[in-house]
Amino acid sequence: MPKGRQVADIINLLPDNIANQIAAGEVIQRPASAVKELLENAVDAGATEIQLFIKDAGKELVQVIDNGSGMSDTDARMCFERHATSKIQTIDDLFHIRTMGFRGEALASIAAVAQVELKSRKHNEELGTFIEIDNSVVKRQEPCQTAPGTSIAMKNLFFNVPARRNFLKSNAAEMRHIVDEFIRVALAFPHLQFSLNSNGQEMFHLEKGSLKQRIVNILGQHYNSKLVTVKESTDYMNVSGFVGKPDTAKKTRGDQFFFVNNRFIKSGYLNHAVMSAFSEMIPSENFPLYVLFIDLDPAHVDINVHPTKQEIKFDDEKILYAFVQAAVKHALAQFNVTPALDFELDPGIQSLDALTQPFTDQKKVQSANTSIYRSFTQANQAHMIDHSGSNSNLRNWKDLYGPVEKPLEMEAPSSTASVIDERWQEAATDQKVPVQVHQQYILSQIKSGYILIDQRAAHERILYERYQRALSEKPIATQQSLFPQTLELLPADAVVISEMLPDLQALGYDLEPFGMHTFVVRGTPADIQTGNEQASIEGLLEQFKHFSTELKLNRRENLVRSMARNNAIPVGKPLGTREMQNIIDELFACATPNVSPGGRFTFISFKLNDLERMFDRGA
């Protein structure tokens, strides 16, 4: 550098308004972020009634009204300053926090990216305070008449940061996030009254009550008899709450809630502890319902490892894992939730009189007089089997090695047995007739050998491409219902369906909103079995939420994959010859016939010369 040359300073302090907007990005990422902060502040203010009002999915308005302690004139002004808080006096307080909203910059961040109006009055004062803030600047502060407690209205989020506003999702997507945050806070505090009003309609009205009542009111009345109490205590920690019985498990993670010291958290580690407790009761791809509260000394928890405080760190995770797993296992065992019969046992067997009717004295006498009873109870008689009698099935033991499966369409009453036999012999001589294997696979001959088709994966691929065409080219025909059904959904699920309505119409569903969280089902795709409309939509909804959680697909791709997965032929369904041939023909007419939408092989080919080598035909 030449001697005497001066270099200008390049590091400057940012103006407060820009610094506030940058800080706001850590706290207020979307309307739901503001909802979380405002609800938690209301809880910490000692409110017993909390109202949330939303307009335009929070983009136009997020307002929380509570009947809590209220604020003085000075506190009302100070709460919008960065790092202002009533909950931390010393550095030690930071590690012993049991309240919810302690981030000093929460209200300051909201004021930096929105227009804010605050009204607050302490219960022992006659007048309250009104403050209007625009882009972190106080425009007005004056006394006002208002009810005891606090009302904070956040208007026009990101009005001064257009680029941030453009990154917000659709109203339905943003509303889902708002409902999620509302539910988490409402579950954590069942002794408080909560309500949620969106665009003038009340979505939730939750009265004070027990945790079980709150779970049922939020997640649905069908859980009322399906909840198992979890309650274990030690000197180190306590676990309490509820888990759902195994038959309530779903393919989605939407009904899993962990709270540590009443704060909602996300923990894959603790979720695994619960899953392992259910490991022998539900399929591995399903998720049980749980609402579990862990209470322990805040000194054992670090809640500042993530800006949203939803991911936290424990000083001894192994103890926590073992305790949660044991608590859930103990609860399930105590309430006899373990299955009494094998899940794979044929339903027809489960309904037999031998299992469902009492074993009376008369039946005991009748059983004792049978030859098979004597064979197994009298000394030296176990090897003796009675071959007499015209009803002995052992005479036809060779039949056990005959064909065990025939196409479904060939089955008929005994009076047409001769016709069936002729058709079966005719099919057997035609080498190209496909054969179903274990009601899961289709075996079909090709010139070079044969192929083995996974019937479910193949049908998924067929439906996936059919639904893709329906959205881009020709909509699927709708089968109108003679008696339209009313479908009542949970509020969060109703938001999901509302978002998908135009695409569902193209895919053959005729749904119409009908009041709060309710839809009228006037028609379904033509290939949906009549009378199965509600189950079809509920299954589609569950699959959609599952893919949303696992794959992060865009909405249309998610919907098409969900439809294909939900409507595909299940494993274990018998297929007739024509049905199998249709699957083969349609599969190989697909643009990508070799894999399912999820990437599984739809078929495997076996060459004839490979078979010859396996059987050592060359020798």
Domain boundary residue, one of 319, 334, 349 = 334
Is pLDDT at 392 greater than 70 in this prediction? no
pLDDT number for residue 530: 67
Is pLDDT at 487 greater than 50 in this prediction? yes
Q: Burial code of 288-302, b = ≥16 C-beta within 10 A, e = fewer?
A: bbbbbbbebeeebbe
> CA torsion sign, 305 to 309 to 314 to 320?
negative
Residues 32 and 130 in one domain: yes
| Inter-residue contact 149 to 45 (CB < 8 Å) | yes
Question: 256: domain CATH number?
Answer: 3.30.230.10
| In a domain? residue 606 | yes
pLDDT number for residue 430: 56
Q: State the number of CA atoms in the 13 A half-sphere of 108 facing the CB.
A: 21
Note the pLDDT tens digit of each residue in 524-541: 888 776 666 777 788 888
pLDDT number for residue 5: 58
Note the pLDDT tens digit of each residue in 303-335: 654 445 555 666 677 888 899 999 999 999 887
* C-alpha to C-alpha distance for 526 and 532, rounded to whole angstroms: 12
For 12-17, the CB contacts below 8 A with 24+ separation are: 16/136, 17/112, 17/135, 17/136, 17/137
Least confident of 44-48, 92-96, 118-122, 507-511: 92-96
pLDDT number for residue 240: 95
Maximum distance among all Cα pairs of the chain, rounded to whole angstroms: 122
Residues 321 and 234 in one domain: yes
Using DSSP, state whether 509 is helix, strand or coil.
coil
| Inter-residue contact 252 to 287 (CB < 8 Å) | yes
pLDDT number for residue 173: 82
What angle separates helix 31-44 from helix 106-113, to the nearest 10 degrees? 140
Note the pLDDT tens digit of each residue in 181-230: 999 999 999 999 999 999 988 889 999 999 999 999 998 888 888 999 99
* C-alpha to C-alpha distance for 370 and 373, rounded to whole angstroms: 5
pLDDT number for residue 534: 75
Kind of pairing, strands 237-244 and 290-296?
antiparallel
Is pLDDT at 6 greater than 90 in this prediction? no
Using DSSP, state whether 54 is helix, strand or coil.
strand
More confident residue, 69 or 514: 69
Is pLDDT at 368 greater than 90 in this prediction? no
Domain boundary residue, one of 189, 206, 223 = 206
* C-alpha to C-alpha distance for 374 and 385, rounded to whole angstroms: 10
pLDDT number for residue 415: 39
pLDDT number for residue 1: 54
| In a domain? residue 407 | no
Share of the chain above pLDDT 70, in %: 72
| In a domain? residue 288 | yes
More confident residue, 161 or 398: 161
* C-alpha to C-alpha distance for 318 and 269, rounded to whole angstroms: 9
| In a domain? residue 393 | no
What total number of domains does the chain contain? 3
| In a domain? residue 316 | yes
Query: Can you read off the two tokens belonging to residue 102?
Result: 């302690």
Q: 113 falls in which pLDDT band (50, 70, 90)?
A: confident
Query: Can you read off the two tokens belonging to residue 554?
Result: 């865009």
Show the domain range for 511: 417-619
Note the pLDDT tens digit of each residue in 595-619: 999 889 999 988 888 888 888 765 5
Residues 471 and 595 in one domain: yes
For 398-407, the CB contacts below 8 A with 24+ separation are: 405/435, 405/436, 405/437, 405/439, 405/574, 407/436, 407/574, 407/575, 407/576, 407/577, 407/580
| Inter-residue contact 465 to 586 (CB < 8 Å) | no
Residues 199 and 219 in one domain: no
Is pLDDT at 413 greater than 60 in this prediction? no
| In a domain? residue 89 | yes
